Amino acid sequence: MKDNKIILVEPLHYVLQGEGKNLGKKMILLRVAGCNVQCPDCDTTYSWKFSKKDFLLSYTKEELLKEIYKINNKKNINHLLVTGGEPAIWQEFLSSLLLSLNTFFFDVETSGYDEWKFIKNHPELSKKVHFNISPKIGALKAKKFSDLKDIYILKNPPLNYIVKIVSSRKTFFEDLQQIEKLIEYYGIPRNKIFLMPFAKTREELLEESEFLIDQCFIYGFEFSPRLHILIFNNQRLK
């Protein structure tokens, strides 16, 4: 955080949550800049791999609150989706922001490799924040975090969370070994594991989904489509 400001990679806008337990819910999307994981197959590399064409936006908390309430007043949306990049690197700023949004609920997308201190420091937020944790096992591997024991957030999990694992027909049975180790090591209920297809286009998504849905029934996992790919294909939303 520089000069009490946060950097976003796109303007605030309203969306439907495209993944996980809150699939289809109307939310205001806040996409932060920067990531300390940087997966090779990341589908939002523009959030951390900047070019001269990228237009980064800087906000103070007061400026950001003004923009959030502007959308809230027009669309009556009181759910904020915080994603990136990796929001954990901005958690000091986000802690203050979320505490100021008294009537809001929150989805936070995170890789899980950082401690989210503000939830411990402000237990009143625990019932309002839902974590979508995406550890980099499965099809999205990151060399920097290869050990299952690196997933800090699962050592003392938040009240509301799911674990999203991106997988594919080609990698599933290899991924399954990692998922089973993850479940055993952290004591994760199987119905908190959500399988998502590895896909960057609508065609790939449809091809992979049928196979993964079958595996969810076999192994007791949940399934998450990726609505943004299904609806908008591989277009980047502005």
How many residues would you count in the chain?
Answer: 238
Q: Quick one: pLDDT at residue 145? A: 54
The tens digit of pLDDT for each residue in 58-68 reads 999 999 999 99
Give the pLDDT score at 39. Answer: 75
Q: How far is CA 70 from CA 53, 80, 171, in A?
A: 27, 13, 44
Residue 36 backbone phi and psi in degrees, to 5: -100, 10
pLDDT at 237 over 70: no
Q: Using the 8-state DSSP alphabet, how is residue 105 labeled?
A: E
Task: Check pLDDT > 70 for residue 236.
Answer: no
pLDDT the model gives residue 49: 83
CATH of 5-232, one of 3.90.780.10, 3.90.226.10, 3.30.470.10, 3.20.20.70: 3.20.20.70
For the chain, report the end-to-end CA distance as a whole number of angstroms. 24
Residue pair 81/15 in contact by the 8 Å Cβ criterion = yes
Token readout for 230 is 């299904």
Query: Helix, strand, or coil here: 182?
Result: helix
Alpha-carbon span 102 to 97, nearest angstrom: 10
Please report which residue ranges of the chain form alpha helices under DSSP H.
Answer: 61-75, 91-100, 117-121, 172-186, 202-219, 227-232
**pLDDT tens digits along 86-107:** 999 999 999 999 999 999 999 9
